[in-house]
Amino acid sequence: MAQEFSKGDHVSWKSHGGEAEGTVQKKITEETEAAGRTVKASADEPQYEVKSEKSGGTAVHKPGALHKD
């Protein structure tokens, strides 16, 4: 089972320029528009919206791509 994250968790993930860090904003459990794209998430396969510390932008990642710091 994939790791669970909560709003406010500090996480890191691999990015184009190496490793990025940020904060979990919310858990997404249904298909929705987030971070400028359609996110195909479900209760069984959630995704997480994170805010980058460096850019201030948001992105959506699957739990396997995130690492809790």
pLDDT at 69: 84
Q: Specify if 52 maps to a domain.
A: yes
In a domain, 56, yes or no: yes
pLDDT in tens, the chain (69 residues): 568 999 999 999 998 879 999 999 999 999 999 988 999 999 999 999 999 999 999 999 999 999 998
Q: Is residue 3 assigned to a domain?
A: no
Decide if 44 contacts 29 (C-beta within 8 A): no
Q: DSSP code of 45?
A: S
Query: How high is the pLDDT of residue 23?
Result: 98
Query: Distance between CA atoms of 9 and 17, rounded to whole angstroms?
Result: 22
pLDDT of the residue at 1: 56
The total number of structural domains that make up the chain:
1
Specify the DSSP element, H or E, that contains 69: none
What does pTM read for this prediction?
0.91
Domain that holds residue 22: 10-68
Residue 39 belongs to some domain of the structure: yes
Q: For residue 5, is it within any domain?
A: no
**Residue at 53 is within a domain:** yes
pLDDT at 14: 94
- Cα-Cα-Cα-Cα dihedral sign, residues 63, 64, 66, 68: positive
**Contact between residue 13 and residue 50 where contact means Cβ atoms under 8 Å apart:** yes
